[in-house]
């Protein structure tokens, strides 16, 4: 190993991953200054010893000049070494950090600060890398959201536009006119549901929705939700199997109603004509468990990981009504209520959504 390589190894041990990786910059600098000062003292001592041997220090004036020259040379060397050391220890990593922050400020979230150092600056760099990654994810989510919203708006708008153009034809027979008007109506309804859902979700995500607790009977609450959806389950001739013992719950009835409407709505929507939907309520010592089970198309394991994402729809053909925001809202509400939701399903074998609501002392 050459002298240079040995020196580099020593520097690496001092600054990087080597034997002192956990020493603070302060300690490393102290160690460095101490080492350099000792070496300089040794050099000065050698110079003086050499001068003495050569007889340069025979007069007092000569001795003073040589000592002064040794001190000046030593001081200059010390400053040079200190500058190099501080530059390597602090300035270079700081410059990397500043360059990265500048790039992030310009919207580049792919930038990462290289660091294998575990000192304060290394920790700072690692934290900044994490922050940049989160910002990048947020930026991607925002872009995806805008793309999804535009996509979801486009289809009903195109259908309204097309039908409106067709309705201008005076030769249309009444049945055709009615059909186009119905299409305009359903597309406008879809747009209205979409914008309401986006607003609701945004309020939920911004923390603008506060849980207004009230105590009510969960069994009654679930029956009310089924009543709201009566048209849907009757149209599909769904058989309802209800096991709803009396359970008192304290929480936000408005938010929880949205959970039931979404879960029950989906169970009905994804059930075959004449299918069966089970709604089961159980009271445990510290929780109430509601299970909504259907015998519909089911959800694969891969899809189960995605269904709570905004705009996710397993079937993108829009054969079933919806915009992929329902379960995202459910998830948000469930976390606001400090509850839990779980899905158990297999493709073709229906799905069960299990909601566990904590029961507080107030519930009695
Ligand atoms: P959507 O408006 O499409 O119903 P959701 O967020 O409520 O949006 O659901 C997201 C997706 O999850 C649905 O498009 C569907 O693919 C799947 N999903 C939800 N509930 C069920 C269910 N009970 N059976 C089968 N698939 C379901």
Give CA angle at 340 (337, 342), nearest 5°: 145
* Cβ of residue 294 lying under 6 Å from some atom of ligand 1: yes
* Cβ of residue 270 lying under 6 Å from some atom of ligand 1: yes
* Cβ of residue 322 lying under 6 Å from some atom of ligand 1: yes
pLDDT at residue number 312: 85
- Asked if residue 283 has pLDDT above 70, the reply is yes
Most confident option among 17-21, 114-118, 317-321, 331-335: 331-335
pLDDT at residue number 5: 63
* Cβ of residue 15 lying under 6 Å from some atom of ligand 1: no
pLDDT tens for 29-52 read 777 777 777 877 787 778 778 877
* Cβ of residue 311 lying under 6 Å from some atom of ligand 1: no
* Cβ of residue 321 lying under 6 Å from some atom of ligand 1: no
* Cβ of residue 314 lying under 6 Å from some atom of ligand 1: yes
> pTM of the prediction?
0.66
CA distance 291 to 281: 7
| Ligand 1 center–CA 324 separation, angstroms | 7
Of residues 216 and 75, the one with the higher pLDDT is 216
Half-sphere exposure of 269 (CA within 13 A, CB side): 17
| Residue 297 Cα: closest atom of ligand 1 | 25
Q: Would the CA dihedral through 239, 245, 246, 252 be positive or negative?
A: negative
* Mean pLDDT across 285-314: 92
- Asked if residue 353 has pLDDT above 90, the reply is yes
pLDDT range class, residue 89, cuts 50, 70, 90? confident
Q: What is the DSSP letter of 93?
A: H
* Mean pLDDT across 59-87: 77
- Asked if residue 1 has pLDDT above 80, the reply is no
- Asked if residue 284 has pLDDT above 80, the reply is yes
pLDDT at residue number 150: 86
Half-sphere exposure of 72 (CA within 13 A, CB side): 6
Contact 112, 100 (CB under 8 A): yes
* Mean pLDDT across 198-218: 85
- Asked if residue 28 has pLDDT above 80, the reply is no
159: Cβ contacts below 8 Å, ≥ 6 apart: 183, 184, 187
Nearest to 329, CA basis, from 204, 142, 144: 204
Beta pairing, strands 276-283 & 287-294: antiparallel
Q: Give the other-Cβ count within 10 Å of 286's Cβ.
A: 11
| Dihedral angle computed from the Cα positions of residues 30, 36, 41 and 44, in that order, rounded to the nearest 10 degrees | -150
- Please state at what angle helix 3-15 crosses helix 25-54, rounded to 10 degrees: 140
Give CA angle at 293 (289, 299), nearest 5°: 115
The fraction of the chain above a pLDDT of 90, given in percent, is 43
Ligand 1, atom 20, lies closest to the CA of 266
* Cβ of residue 350 lying under 6 Å from some atom of ligand 1: no
The fraction of the chain above a pLDDT of 70, given in percent, is 89
pLDDT at residue number 188: 93
* Mean pLDDT across 4-12: 59
CA distances from 232 to 237, 295, 321, 323 (A): 9, 16, 12, 17
pLDDT range class, residue 19, cuts 50, 70, 90? very low
* Cβ of residue 249 lying under 6 Å from some atom of ligand 1: no
pLDDT range class, residue 222, cuts 50, 70, 90? very high
| Ligand 1 center–CA 182 separation, angstroms | 25
pLDDT tens for 225-240 read 999 999 999 999 999 9
Ligand 1, atom 19, lies closest to the CA of 266
pLDDT at residue number 14: 54
Most confident option among 90-94, 181-185, 203-207: 181-185
Of residues 33 and 114, the one with the higher pLDDT is 114
């Amino acid at each position: 190993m050459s002298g240079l390589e040995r020196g580099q190894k020593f520097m690496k041990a001092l600054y990087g991953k080597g034997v002192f990786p956990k020493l603070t910059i302060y300690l490393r600098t102290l160690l460095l200054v101490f080492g350099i000062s000792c070496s300089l003292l040794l050099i000065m001592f050698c110079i003086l010893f050499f001068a003495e041997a050569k007889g340069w220090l025979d007069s007092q004036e000569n001795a003073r000049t040589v000592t002064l020259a040794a001190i000046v040379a030593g001081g200059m060397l010390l400053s040079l070494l200190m500058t190099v050391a501080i530059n390597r220890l602090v300035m270079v990593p700081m410059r990397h950090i500043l360059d990265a922050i500048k790039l992030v400020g310009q919207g580049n979230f792919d930038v990462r600060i290289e660091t294998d150092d575990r000192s304060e600056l290394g920790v700072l760099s690692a934290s900044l890398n994490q922050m940049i990654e989160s910002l990048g994810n947020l930026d991607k989510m925002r872009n995806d959201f805008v793309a999804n919203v535009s996509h979801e708006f486009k289809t009903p708008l195109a259908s309204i536009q097309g039908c409106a153009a067709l309705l201008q034809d005076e030769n249309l027979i009444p049945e055709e006119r009615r059909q186009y008007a119905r299409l305009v109506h359903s597309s406008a309804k879809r747009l209205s549901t979409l914008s309401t859902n986006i607003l609701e979700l945004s309020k939920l995500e911004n923390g603008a929705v506060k849980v207004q607790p009230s105590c009510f009977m969960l069994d009654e609450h679930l029956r009310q939700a089924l009543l709201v959806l009566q048209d849907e389950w009757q149209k599909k001739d769904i058989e309802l199997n209800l096991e709803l013992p009396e359970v008192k719950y304290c929480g936000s009835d408005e938010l929880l109603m949205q959970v039931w409407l979404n879960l029950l709505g989906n169970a009905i929507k994804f059930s075959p004509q004449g299918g069966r939907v089970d709604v089961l309520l159980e009271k445990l010592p510290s929780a109430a468990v509601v299970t909504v089970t259907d015998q519909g198309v089911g959800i694969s394991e891969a899809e189960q990981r995605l269904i709570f994402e905004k705009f996710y729809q397993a079937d993108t053909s829009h054969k079933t009504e919806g915009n992929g925001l329902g379960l995202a809202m459910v998830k948000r509400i469930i976390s606001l209520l400090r509850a839990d939701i779980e899905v158990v399903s297999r493709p073709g074998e229906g799905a069960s959504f299990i909601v566990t609501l904590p029961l507080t002392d107030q519930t009695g």
